[in-house]
Chain A
């Protein structure tokens, strides 16, 4: 069955860095666009970044542009998010999510399957 397992979260000081990972299984990873979506404590959902199946297209929320970098390794069935210059407002649960198969070639459209998330806390 489809599984998405995030890791790499933790406590980091403002200005610090983290690398999140998402291990995918149960489907042909290289066929699907992938995204990172975050949820600050008690708040709503925000699509932080997405990457198309072959890494041709990436996009970022304005709130993280220039600080976060999304990447993937289709040979390892893994998705990554490099978080740099972290701020207190980046504190959130970060979810890895899979798009549906066969949709738009340039964006995910929607999020068909989600991981359980990993918590990033930015605090001194």
Chain B
């Protein structure tokens, strides 16, 4: 089972970044998003498609439509530059799968 993300997204500070993740099972399975900065462990930023963990800034949001889920970062800041990974379950709902990751560059 494959979750497909764009390899890279670039935005200027203050703009809105949208990172997509596509997979056939996404209409049936929740999606999750992680942020990973260089040399650090991943951090959960969105769970169950659109819920934000405590401590995650409000500018991070998630949405789902059919076979695509989207992580939106509004008013991007330089500190948001990182790799972002989506994650969901495979089509049988028995194993957790990650997308290939998207490198967000803040110009």
Contact = CB atoms under 8 A, between A and B. Distances in A.
Interface of A: 35, 44-47, 50, 59, 61, 95, 100, 106-117
Interface of B: 30, 32, 34, 40-44, 47, 53, 85, 87, 89, 93-101
A107 B90 CA distance: 12
A46 B1 CA distance: 12
Nearest to A117: B41
Given A114-B42, A117-B41, A107 B98 contact: no
A47 B95 contact: yes
Nearest to B85: A45
B98 A44 contact: yes
18 contacts: A44-B98, A44-B99, A45-B85, A45-B87, A45-B101, A50-B96, A59-B95, A106-B94, A107-B89, A107-B93, A107-B94, A107-B95, A107-B96, A108-B96, A110-B44, A110-B47, A110-B87, A112-B53
A122 B53 CA distance: 36
